[in-house]
Amino acid sequence: MTKVRQCAEGGYLQPIIMNGSSGAPRYRRSSHVRKREEFAADVYLTAVRTLTDPTELNLFKYHYLYGADWKLCCKRLGLPYQENKHRKLFFDRCYRVEQKLGKVFLELKPFTLWPPDEYFHVVAGRSVDIRPIPIPEARHRNGVPLRPPLGPRPVPVFAPDSFEDVKQEIRAAFAQGQTLAAICNDLNRRGVLPKQASRWHPAGVFRITGPRAPAPAPAVTPVPFDIGDGAAVARHARNGFGAGRSLDFLAAELTRMNVPAPKGNEWRGRDVRNLLLTHPREPGRFKRAA
């Protein structure tokens, strides 16, 4: 862990590490690498993968990475630290962590983390083989892959080259009132695939069908009076009001008859009220029914 602390000290003020050989071409002779950062990251990630116990991993962080003493580590880990026997128990834990990580650091493949000079390619008196170790494909003894597929994949049924039969089928289903989602589900269930996708989507079906034809307009009821004569309109409204109809009902009826409204395109109850007040009742006509 001394090498990890040395890599962390100084930051960007440390000298640059160049990687390369003198026998390579000039433009590929050397390159700038982050060996210190890579070494520290490899040590930390290897410890995370090896120390599955959260207490051991936290002990590794506080004591070995952060440099805290045994009392501070015990406080952070929730361990007792009042007596000397507690100090012995703490360092027993440290020895177990060192035993686990030391074995992994020494046997790590393809590049070991110990000794550190081999990691940094700075070796005195011995040669280092830095070639990666080939890892064979994981297979059973009989040659079958370890994770075979759960079942045979369904053989897709591709649409014919002309694609006109599928388009006619889609248009016919759409004309019968089926939704785009229902058409997509039916085609995907039968294995009929589009040309340039793995499954049907409503947007692709819409490009074939186009928008649905608008519903026919309802037939216009013939009006028994002149819709341009305000007196005739007031007379019709007064007859309905006298028969017990509400102002809102009369407004909806006038809108349905396409009678021009005073404001906007629709009649409202207050418009009918103003119409009745503007055109007074003829003398001798009946009053509103109770």
pLDDT of residue 290: 46
How far apart CA 231 and CA 118 sit, in angstroms, is 107
pLDDT of residue 124: 47
Amino acid at 163: F
Q: Is 250 exposed, middle or buried (0-12, 13-18, 19+ CB in 10 A)?
A: buried
DSSP 148-186: --SSPPPPPEEPPSS-HHHHHHHHHHHHTT--HHHHHHH
- Judge if 164 and 255 occupy the same domain: no
Domain of residue 203, residue span: 157-209
- Judge if 16 and 97 occupy the same domain: yes
- How do residues 80-93 score in pLDDT, each as one tens digit? 877 777 888 888 88
| 147 domain-assigned | no
| 141 domain-assigned | no
pLDDT of residue 138: 60
pLDDT of residue 267: 86
| 10 domain-assigned | yes
- Judge if 54 and 111 occupy the same domain: yes
- Judge if 205 and 240 occupy the same domain: no
pLDDT of residue 286: 46
| 98 domain-assigned | yes
| 223 domain-assigned | no
Q: Which residues of the chain have pLDDT under 50?
A: 22-24, 124, 284, 286, 288-290
- How do residues 122-136 score in pLDDT, each as one tens digit? 554 555 555 555 656
pTM, whole model, 2 decimals?
0.37
- Judge if 100 and 54 occupy the same domain: yes
